[in-house]
Structure 1
């Protein structure tokens, strides 16, 4: 598929992530979207007369050509929704961007991906938690994701690099700038040991409405979102709610009931929207990482008496190789859609073939 057409699809005014996915599903490819007849496009849910006119003009291609020149000049990787390098965890989210722009060397499909978020007005309590958490995560070689904002975000990236962990900053603007500007030195280090990722075209400024869009990528890219310290209102709680909506694990560190910047974490825990975490061992237990580390490799073959479907065979082969595995990684390795995977695993559990462990982890019985 033409990269120009992929970018152009994301440049059409009024065509957001969901509508773009509908267009691709209906037409087959970005190229086909632009050559399809209006009477056919009008059948796509969400398409109106104004959008039909915008698809038919050349402005999207003019903007796409400009962006293509920018990414080629600055060695930026363009990731389309159907590309193999596109983050598979994010792809499973219904509102995932069809186009991402990435500068760096991180594996966006790493085995363990953790988002760490929190208030911009961090206290020493929150900063100490963040330092301790990132130091502990070094043993898991996790990819650390955050938003490169002031406070906890900045510290999460900084401590990740300090502990030799790859870290990716999700931007609310184009890759032609760094916001806040004071974080440019850190951002440059991150490009060398992680990267910067955005859905926004060059020239896009960090307008207020861009940050909730940015937060959905922070939540969707990871297995788990950890809220270190947060107010009752703000971006960290938005990210936590988005992670919950994607059926991802959320953790929050508690604080004193009269501390303003612990009120958000306490609220998440009280309303059962986050697991309580006080130390890394809590995360490891709930996610099943202790099982993953201690589980011996299974070398025996499944009994030939068990009649497995093609999907069940894919799952069984991965579990035979890995022992225990997180469900999101299982989806990546099997190539099965989340809906199909969930249904197949349920059937295998009922047959007594697999067993579920805390943290969406599965293993063969």
Structure 2
């Protein structure tokens, strides 16, 4: 990535009121982050969803010194990063509409790994929860999954340690910059995590661990994985937020049941009772539901039945043929076609009986 584009991406990150979804929309419509800041305010106002306030925030030069400082830090220290349109961006996260535009990382990680599990839970993990977590990871080890968690007290660090004990790659998603460490007592695990995977964060290098960052971090924990496991949780807790996010991404959620009067089993029991999570009794539940025992089937190329497809129609058709039914926004991201244009193309494809629209802005061949 060119230095100018990186600077523009950081500038978008630092722009108030411009979140991940709007940032991606602007990049898709205008073509690049750098080009966004070359646009006149009047041009920005013509974009659907960009009002006076947002347009003014974009053209403002208020935070340039802060941005320049972070930009220099990234370049001078060789900080690794992944951009949502790059090949080295995790595929699972790329399919999340609110996945980070860019995140920074340290360590050696395989983003394209075929089996990724997030394990989260209460900070007050019990002996029951800890024993189950350790046994679960040990029983999954032969399938060589990546274990993702948040490096916090309790279930998080238990999951990371279990992964490292079984020589599995583990990824710690931080709620602060890579130069910070929280909790401090976990500093002793940093070297081992780096040797067995690494750390990722969407926050700038010196960002402290603020309360709201932990909730933002949870969507990456859920988005990175094929499935999320909740070890233990009270009726309310951050891990339940992670479960909710994972469900919104149409990912599988598993919860460890416990006695009805156990404080740190009530959250899991409720997830199971309300059908927001599968009951998890052993590693076999994950193996069976995620089809890890089945060999990958070779993709058989179907004969091309529609010889009159336009280039963009062919891209969309091939994408849906390979990936199955997908959300409109996910198709736009993966095919790199702006949503406003994609909607028009899909209508034409529907008229040709090439694709079918499903409820919830889903489409399939």
Instruction: Please state which band the TM-score falls in when normalised by the shorter chain.
Output: 0.7 to 0.9
- The equivalent position to 2:290 in structure 1, one of 287, 290, 305, is 287
Matches within 5 A, 1:155-174: 155-174=158-177
CA distance in 1, matches of 2:289, 2:46: 45
**What is the TM-score when the length of structure 1 is the normalising length?**
0.81
Structure 2 CA distance for aligned equivalents of residues 308 and 253 of structure 1: 48
Query: Are positions 1:111 and 2:114 aligned together?
Result: yes
User: Any stretches of 5+ residues in structure 1 without a counterpart?
Assistant: 320-324, 348-365
Query: Match of 1:228?
Result: 231
- The alignment's C-alpha RMSD in Å is 3.1
Question: 1:242 aligns to what?
Answer: 245
Q: 1:179 to 1:298 in 2, by over 3 A?
A: closer
Unpaired runs of at least 5, structure 2: 308-313, 351-365
Residues matched between the structures, number = 328
* TM-score (normalised: structure 2): 0.81
Conservation of the 8 A alpha-carbon contact between 1:112 and 1:142: yes
Of the structure 1 ranges 230-239 and 3-12, higher mean CA displacement relative to structure 2 is found in: 3-12
**Deviations 1:222-244, CA, capped at 9 Å, x for gaps:** 11001111111001100000000
Name 1:70's counterpart in structure 2: 73
Q: CA deviation at 1:276?
A: 0.8
Q: How does 1:12-31 map to 2 (within 5 A)?
A: 12-31=15-34
Moved over 3 A (4+): 72-75, 301-304, 306-316
For the residue of structure 1 that corresponds to 2:78, the secondary structure is coil
Mapped partners of 1:188, 1:237: distance in 2: 29
Q: Secondary structure at the match of 1:230?
A: coil
C-alpha contact 1:160 1:166 (8 A) present in aligned 2 = yes
Shift of 1:55: 2.0
Partner residue in 2 for 1:198: 201
Cα-to-partner distance string for 1:337-357 (whole Å, 9 max, x where unaligned): 9x99xx9xxx9xxxxxxxxxx
The equivalent position to 1:35 in structure 2, one of 26, 34, 38, is 38
- Provide Cα deviations, 1:139-165, integer angstroms capped at 9, x if missing partner: 111111100000000010111111111
Q: Which string of whole-angstrom CA distances, capped at 9 and with x for unpartnered residues, describes residues 217-262 of structure 1? A: 1011111001111111001100000000011110111111111111
Query: Quick one: distance in 2 between partners of 1:139 and 1:150?
Result: 26
- Looking at structure 2, the residues matched to 302 and 200 of structure 1 have their Cα atoms a distance apart, in angstroms, of 42
